[in-house]
Structure 1
Amino acid sequence: MAIFKADKLDVIFSISQPPVLGGLLGVLGKILRKSKFIYNIQDFNPEQIEAVNYSKNKFVINLMRRVDNFSCNKADKVVVVGRDIKETVVKRNKTFYIKKCEVINNWINEKEMYPLPKDSVLAKSFIEKNGLGDKFIIMYSGNIGLYYDLENIIKIVPYFHRYPEICFVFVGEGAKKKEVVEWCNRNNVTNVKFIPYQPKEEIIYSLNAADVYIVTNVKGIKGVSVPSKIYGVMAVGKSILGILEKRSEARNLIEDSNCGICVESGDYEEIKNKIEYLYNIFI
């Protein structure tokens, strides 16, 4: 490991990946190298595991929480990516010194990700290559996984068959993609496209092809994780439909910057209403 090979270390910076072990490795480095330790929490575990019922083994979950609390206490500074995550740190650990925790949002390189007209050559190329024509594109891009509730959100899509101009576009892969695709096939959902992950250098063109962009988290993720896709979407200037819990960091960012509208996670009727509203104000 680099922390044992370097000649002199003033500060060790460790992130919360792999879960729990990332922090513990930072503590180990601090002790052995007699340096300062900054612990950067990107996703909070075991809270993230609990939010989606990934494990119900209370012994393992409680052990993980105790170990991660130990890492937070031993750190000289804890950096979190959301105000809601800071609340979780303090709530979880009653002995924690609150001034030791700082909120620093993640970010995007605005020289690599920026607004382009939807009819620009490369954005238009993405649209034409994927058979999207003149569609009003509602896009989700990223991990189609456990933490985004897409397997339930997809069930509102057939309602929009009455709007032939609308197409829902899901760009990415993940643990829930097969389930979502199979549901669409069984129910003859035709106003949806599934597109593989795009090369990093081409993400700017796929994001700029959208009219409305969905940023979502499953209920229970507030204070645990912040969907990093929001930074790229904000950088390209897209209107956002945030399907997010109140006072979650991503929702705060959308509302503070007035770059979209939000609805509570799990409120599928209101999600449908908000999509209809956005379509009607843009056409």
Structure 2
Amino acid sequence: MPQASVRKLLVVNQYYAPDLASTGQLAAEICGYLAKRGVEAHVVTAQPCYTASSPEAPLYEAVNGVHVHRVPMGRLRGRERMVVRVAGYLRFLWGAWRMARKLAKSERPDVVLTFHNPPFVGLIGAYLAHKYGARFVYAPYDIHPDILVATRWTFLPRPIIWLWERLNRWILRSAETVVVLGEGMRRTLVEGKGVPLDKVKVIPTWGRPELKPMSHKQPIRGELGISEGELLLLYSGNMGIMHPLDPILDAAALLRGEPVRFLFVGDGAKRQHLVKRVEKEGLDQVSFLPFQPEDRFIQLVAASDACLVALEPGLERLAVPSRAYTFLSAGRPLITIMAPEADIARLVTEQGCGWNVTTGEELAELIRQLLSERQELVRRGERARAVYEERFQRERVLEQYARIILAQG
């Protein structure tokens, strides 16, 4: 276990707990872990703004030994409207630049860590690290603008893409260490961005929240009108541009009359489209809930028979869906909807803790098979928990971050 040669850490990221964004939740646990190791951590973040209903939080507070400094965001909350999202990005970047610059000058951090929210936040980290002689660690959990280009979610003029790419390459060159979530992302940075192989470290996420296997018989099934004999397949998380969720509805349409229910929990750019399609096609076995309090989310995961994780084909080199690790920690088998070579798809097939499909037809066929072979769900769920304990437990992963942050430059 490395000793804390690093005394001070400055972190800049738009999201931080209690905000719901996974990056912010992970950042909070990393900082809290380092604070316990004697590091004085200062975080520059925004007031909670990931969803329109994000909770209030003070402009400054000390949480778990971490100094949290927040940029006021006013009414700029939520991500569904692009104009609000972009305005929020700009407001945070300006406020974070001013706040982080003052903190860097007064605190003289040994290490500056930035994630990828919002785009270009790495510029702040790279500049301040260079100016004040700190080590710069960059953790892009998604690779942009590549994702926007690949999904064609919004039109970006070529000069904007060119500039964005050049700025990203400068950030990557400036970083002493770049942390990514999977081998696919590592290959993209090394082969496509020219980042030296030894500079890029792969550290997976852990379950957030990290769960333990619980009884499948949860009262919440009754609340949702799900009978004991029905299979419950859960999708929980962001319903965004990176997630191919229509195949789930395709499967639901093919399984009319079968004892299977599909539950979507969360929010995102695709949610409204999915709700409208369910209403139009009369898919009565599909239902939606907003993001849930943690205690109810835990009950929903426990009540499920399997959990769905989706990633658009082609994005396996740009992102890794982190929610998968929470489901693994709970001992629930995964049904992944993504390219077979994706990190999570390879994990579930090679380790026998789930299945991978690529179309709604394949998903429907798999579910029909599981309806008659339900013990296989139990077996693969047990394997899911074993794999999680072997490779992804919170303490194991956090210690990998500690080795990077606390290493002497």
In the alignment, which residue of structure 1 is the partner of 2:42?
none
* 1:193-215 superposed Cα distances (whole Å, 9 cap, x missing partner): 11221112332111111001111
Structure 1 Cα separation of the partners of residues 305 and 112 of structure 2: 42
Change (3 A) 1:2 1:257: farther
Q: Work out the CA distance in 1 between the residues paired with 2:208 and 2:200.
A: 25
Q: Measure how far apart 1:22 and its partner are.
A: 2.1
Report if aligned partners of 1:51, 1:220 keep a CA contact under 8 Å in 2. Answer: yes
Which of 205, 209, 212 is residue 114 of structure 1 equivalent to?
212
Q: Identity percentage over the alignment?
A: 26
Gaps of 5+ in 2: 1-98, 376-409
Give the structure-1-normalised TM-score: 0.90
Letter in 1 for 2:240: G
1:103-252 paired onto structure 2 within 5 Å: 103-108=202-207, 112-119=210-217, 124-134=218-228, 135-163=230-258, 165-252=259-346
Out of 76, 101, 107, the position equivalent to 2:200 is: 101
Residues 243 and 152 (structure 1 numbering): CA distance in 2 closer, same or farther, change over 3 Å? closer
Q: How does 1:19-34 map to 2 (within 5 A)?
A: 19=119, 21-34=120-133
TM-score (norm 2): 0.64
- SS in structure 2 of the partner of residue 142 of structure 1: strand
CA distance in 2, matches of 1:144, 1:93: 28
Mapped contact 1:254–1:260 kept (Cα < 8 A): yes
AA partner of residue 369 (structure 2): Y
Contact kept, 8 Å, 1:151 with 1:179, in 2: the verdict is no
SS state of the match for residue 214, structure 1? strand
Tell me what 2:354 maps to. 260
Amino acid at match of 1:116: M
TM superposition shift of 1:113: 1.3
> Structure 2: which amino acid aligns with 1:99?
D
Q: Which residue of 2 aligns with 1:64?
A: 164
SS at match of 2:356: strand
Q: Which amino acid aligns with 1:243?
A: I
Taking the aligned partners of 2:311 and 2:266, their CA distance within structure 1 comes to 16
Structure 1 letter corresponding to 2:305: D
SS of residue paired to 2:321: coil
Partner deviation per Cα, 1:43-74 (whole Å, 9 max, x = no partner) = 11001111210234222112111111111111
1:140 to partner: Cα distance: 0.7
Higher relative contact order (CA 8 A, sep 6+): 1
Q: Which residue of 1 aligns with 2:378?
A: none
RMSD across aligned C-alpha pairs, in angstroms?
Answer: 1.7
Aligned to 1:274: 366
Extract unaligned runs of 5+ from structure 1. Answer: none
